Amino acid sequence: MIFIEITQGIQQGLDAWENKLKELPLETITQKRNSQNRTIKQILGHMVDSASNNTHRIVHLQYQKCPFNFPNYATNGNNDRWIAIQNYQDENWENLVQLWKYSHIHYMHVVNHVNENKLANEWVSGSEYGNVSLKEMIVDFLRHFNLHLSEIQCIIDS
């Protein structure tokens, strides 16, 4: 398990935040917003989308011809479209917290079983970063995960 620090970091975040999220008042999760105008429910939904999209990338990058063209849902404001289309704002909070938790648990499972011979495989991200290797994508996931938890904390503290 070469990504143990990544998966342990995600697990620590899940452990630290699950009950904290469940206990937040309705007004806090639905009314307060971050600098991107997202509520906590919408941020959590975005994190679900991120875990799902990254899981799919990991799978594709282990068997597709590379560099692989896989849509980057986060470019050009598309992640906001995903949030709106899925209507995370009206999702049942308990269900959303559990979806957040278990989508990340599954992501960690997939990361823990990645074929190390495929880590140099790249996908065409369509962003200013150019192609991204499977290894780079996995390594960066924890930063992204913690960034959004920090955003949630800032909303709680505001």
Please spell the DSSP secondary structure of 81-105, one letter per residue. Answer: HHHHHHTGGGS-HHHHHHHHHHHHH
The residue type of 103 is: S
pLDDT at 70: 80
Domain ranges (residues) in the chain: 4-157
Q: Looking at domain 4-157, what is its CATH homologous superfamily?
A: dinb family like domain (1.20.120.450)
Backbone angles phi, psi at 132, to 5 degrees: -125, 130
pLDDT at 76: 67
Write the DSSP string, 93-138. Answer: HHHHHHHHHHHHHHHHHHHHT--GGGTT-EEE--STT-EEEHHHHH
Q: Are 100 and 42 in contact (CB under 8 A)?
A: no
pLDDT at 42: 98
With tokens 């899940």, the residue in question is: 14
Per-residue pLDDT of the chain (158 residues; tens, 9 = 90+): 799 999 999 999 999 999 999 999 999 999 999 988 999 999 999 999 999 999 999 999 999 999 988 877 777 678 889 999 999 999 999 999 999 999 999 999 999 999 999 999 999 887 777 899 999 999 999 999 999 999 999 999 99
User: pTM score, two decimals?
Assistant: 0.95
